Amino acid sequence: MRAWRFLTAALSCLIATSALADDAGESRVDSTPIFSIVGSFEGTYTNNAFLVPADRQSDFYWTPDITIRADGKLTSDIYYRVYARGEFDAFSDETDANNSVARIGARLSGDVVDWTVAFAYENRYSFGGIFEDRFFTGHDVIGSVGRTFDWGALTLSPGGLLTYRFADVDEAQRFRMELWLGIEVAIDDKWAVVSEPFFEQFWFTDGLNSGRQDQVYSVSLGLQYKITDNAYLTTEVVYEKGESNRPGLDYDFIEVGPRLDFAY
pLDDT (average), residues 188-212: 98
pLDDT (average), residues 104-125: 97
Cα-to-chain-centroid distance, residue 179: 13
- Domain residues for 50? 2-263
Give residue-wise pLDDT tens across range 24-67: 444 446 668 999 999 999 999 999 999 999 999 999 999 999 99
Residue 19 has pLDDT above 60, yes or no: no
CA distance 41 to 182: 20
What pLDDT, on a 0 to 100 scale, did the predictor assign at position 32? 85
What pLDDT, on a 0 to 100 scale, did the predictor assign at position 10? 42
Q: What is the CATH number of the domain that holds 165?
A: 2.40.160.40
Give residue-wise pLDDT tens across range 126-176: 999 999 999 999 999 999 999 999 999 999 999 999 999 999 999 999 999
CA distance 105 to 165: 13
What pLDDT, on a 0 to 100 scale, did the predictor assign at position 9? 44
3-state secondary structure of 171: helix
pLDDT (average), residues 186-198: 97
CA distance 237 to 257: 7
Query: How much of the chain, in percent, has pLDDT values that exceed 70?
Result: 88
Angle at 141 between CA 138 and CA 143, to 5 degrees: 145
pLDDT (average), residues 244-254: 97
3-state secondary structure of 261: strand
pLDDT (average), residues 78-90: 97
Radius of gyration from C-alpha coordinates of the chain:
20
Residue 260 pLDDT class (50, 70, 90 cuts): very high
3-state secondary structure of 152: coil
What pLDDT, on a 0 to 100 scale, did the predictor assign at position 30? 63
How confident is the prediction for the chain on average, in pLDDT? 91
pLDDT (average), residues 189-197: 98
pLDDT (average), residues 202-207: 98
Exposure of 85 by Cβ count < 10 A (0-12 exposed, 13-18 middle, 19+ buried)? buried
Number of folded domains that form the chain? 1
pLDDT (average), residues 113-119: 96
